Structure 1
Amino acid sequence: MLDNMPRGTITIEEIEMGMTRSLRKVVTDEDIRMFAEVSTDHNPVHMDDDYARDTIFEGRIAHGMLTAGLISAVIGEQLPGHGTVYMGQTLKFLAPVRPGDMVEAEVEVIAIDYAKRRVTLETRCLVDGKKVLVGEATVLAPTGKFD
């Protein structure tokens, strides 16, 4: 379940420093199962309760890249939105995301190169207000100019 979120495009001409956008989603067992199928990552820490109980996480966790994918959704659907080209992303995983957790993925504009249409975004995911993932993305923003 995704909270209602605006969709569309914010062009390079409209982007401003400090702009932020976010989405919230509960990560479900089905999400984890589907991500395992698509990625072919069936690590038992994600799939097997008995196995995962004996790990440092003491229970199953979502794939880190499933959580990171929520950042991609904010970038591709909201800021900058449709027409954005992802150029790079750094990620640091700070804490696990568990089935049933509500994840809030946020992006914030921290640098803009209008001439090159490049935007740098601080990226983060939170569960219960605690950062579980942080990073930085570089994107090529769409333009509204059609010369």
Structure 2
Amino acid sequence: MSDLHGYYLEDLSVGMSASYAKTITEADVVLFAGITGDDNPVHLNEEFAAGTPFKQRIVHGMFSAGLISTVLGTRLPGPGAIYIDQQIRFKAPVLIGDTVTATATITEIDERRRRVKLETVCTVKGKVVAEGEATNMVDRKPV
């Protein structure tokens, strides 16, 4: 793997795994709301959020999905891979100040179609907050 290109299809094997961790700040939530336009008050307004089942503001679920994208695009399969598909289930809220660890593990490789399936999991202190499966298209080694 180089800085400009991640793993090639031939270099991958089932069971390979990579992770990325980030502590979510107030600024991250505000910037994410601004970038995406998702200004749901459950993310931005403490008074509103106090009246929800969570009793406090929660981080956008898609922020965790973005951390999965970070793993896929920068670590495994890495630069050059194309993110084709993602199924995700949000299991628990993420709070400002939490450190989310996104992990992707290869579960299947389709050599003919150049597709790699990965189990994707986001955790906070070992608790699953999001889980699913992603598919990436990965380049073969140049000849």
TM score, norm. by length of structure 1? 0.93
Shift of 1:115: 1.6
Identity rate of aligned residues, in percent? 43
Unaligned runs of 5+ in 2: none
Please give the alpha-carbon distance, in whole angstroms, between the structure 2 residues aligned to 1:72 and 1:140. Answer: 13
Which residue matches 2:57? 60
Which SS does the other structure have where 2:68 is aligned? Answer: helix
**Number of aligned residues:** 141
Unaligned runs of 5+ in 1: 1-5
Q: Does the 8 Å CA contact 1:124/1:134 hold for their aligned counterparts? A: yes
Counterparts of 1:5-44 in structure 2, within 5 Å, are: 9-44=6-41
Counterparts of 1:90-105 in structure 2, within 5 Å, are: 90-105=87-102
Deviations, residues 93-125 of structure 1 (Å, cap 9, x unaligned)? 000000000000000000001121100000000
Please give the alpha-carbon distance, in whole angstroms, between the structure 1 residues aligned to 2:56 and 2:140. Answer: 45
Deviations, residues 12-60 of structure 1 (Å, cap 9, x unaligned)? 0100000000011001111100100011010000001111011011100
TM score, norm. by length of structure 2? 0.95
Which SS does the other structure have where 2:9 is aligned? Answer: coil
Shift of 1:128: 0.4
Please give the alpha-carbon distance, in whole angstroms, between the structure 1 residues aligned to 2:39 and 2:60. Answer: 10
Post-superposition, which runs of at least 4 consecutive aligned residues in structure 1 deviate over 6 A? none
1:139 is aligned to 2:129: no
Please give the alpha-carbon distance, in whole angstroms, between the structure 2 residues aligned to 1:31 and 1:43. Answer: 15
Q: Does the 8 Å CA contact 1:90/1:135 hold for their aligned counterparts? A: yes
> Which residue of the other structure, out of 82, 88, 98, is the alignment partner of 2:79?
82
